[in-house]
Structure formats: structure tokens, C-alpha cells
Amino acid sequence: MYNLTFRRHFSAAHYVENYEGKCANLHGHTWVVEIVLSGETLVNGMLVDFGVAKELLDAILPDHTSLNDRYDFNPTAENLACYFYNNYHIPQNVTLESVTVWESESCSVTYSPMEKRNGAAPYQAYKDSVGGRTVGSSS
């Protein structure tokens, strides 16, 4: 089994909705998104071409925007990790293992669906704490 890991970054502002603290104010980050893909089949000695994998992630990353205006969910690192996981178009012959979103060099969250961890029921989009909005689907 091979695990392929790569990172991309984007700059965006957000605020945490229904939260009391400094993050309730509009502020920005240079976010880092890390993708882990796995598989067993190599084509031309590669699991996936890094360039292709990066292009697929770049297609869904926001840049220089307000995340609260772009998404209809509370754009916390947790919710963003889930959203990117469920909207990343997986290259053929590989499995998307996890998505990690970094707000800073020392703060990150990793999302992988429950069934990947312990054989539980298939993934169901969870309800965000703000207004019960569904996170994880672009539709």
C-alpha cells in the first residue's frame, strides 16, 4: 500500500459564527490543506501524478475571499476539512484517506469518515452547530 501526501495553500478571511472570543471577529489565515491518497496500483511507477492531484484540489480551494460569504456553513477548520474531503474529485485507482486543514503552523484538524476508522455506518453529512446546516456537499 502506498500513501501519497501533498499540500496546497490559500489565503482567506473568516469569522466563527455564534462564538464568543477573538475569532468571532473577521480575521485571515494562510490556510494549508493536506490530502492523503492511498492505493496499491502504480502506473508508470506512480500512484498518482502529483500535478494532477494538485490541480484537482486547486479547483475547489477558495482564494482571497471571505469564507463566510462563500459557504453556507460556519467556516471553521473542522467544517472546511469535511467540505474539502467530500468535494475533492478522487483520481482513478486511489482512495482519499484524509484531509487536514491548517489554520496556522501549530493548529490543524484532520477529517476522515468514520467508516475508514472503524467500519461504522457509511458517512452521513453532519449538521453544523450553526442553524443545523449540512456540511460536506457542494449541492
Q: Residue 91: inside a domain, yes or no?
A: yes
Q: Supply the Cα-derived Rg of the chain in whole angstroms.
A: 16
The domain that holds 59 is classified in CATH as 3.30.479.10
| Domain-located, residue 19 | yes
Q: What is the pTM of this model?
A: 0.83
Asked if the structure places residue 113 within a domain, the reply is yes
% of the chain at pLDDT higher than 70: 82
In a domain, 32, yes or no: yes
- Give the DSSP H/E element, type plus range, for residue 77: helix 77-87
Q: Containing domain of residue 69, as a range?
A: 2-118
Report yes or no on 31 lying in a domain. Answer: yes
How many structural domains is the chain composed of?
A: 1
Residue 39 lies in a domain: yes
Above 90 in pLDDT, residue 117?
no
The pLDDT tens digits of the residues spanning 38-95 come to: 999 999 999 999 999 999 999 999 999 999 999 999 999 999 999 999 999 998 899 9
- Is residue 109, in this structure, part of any structural domain at all? yes
Contacts of 44 (CB under 8 A, 6+ apart): none
125 found inside a domain: no
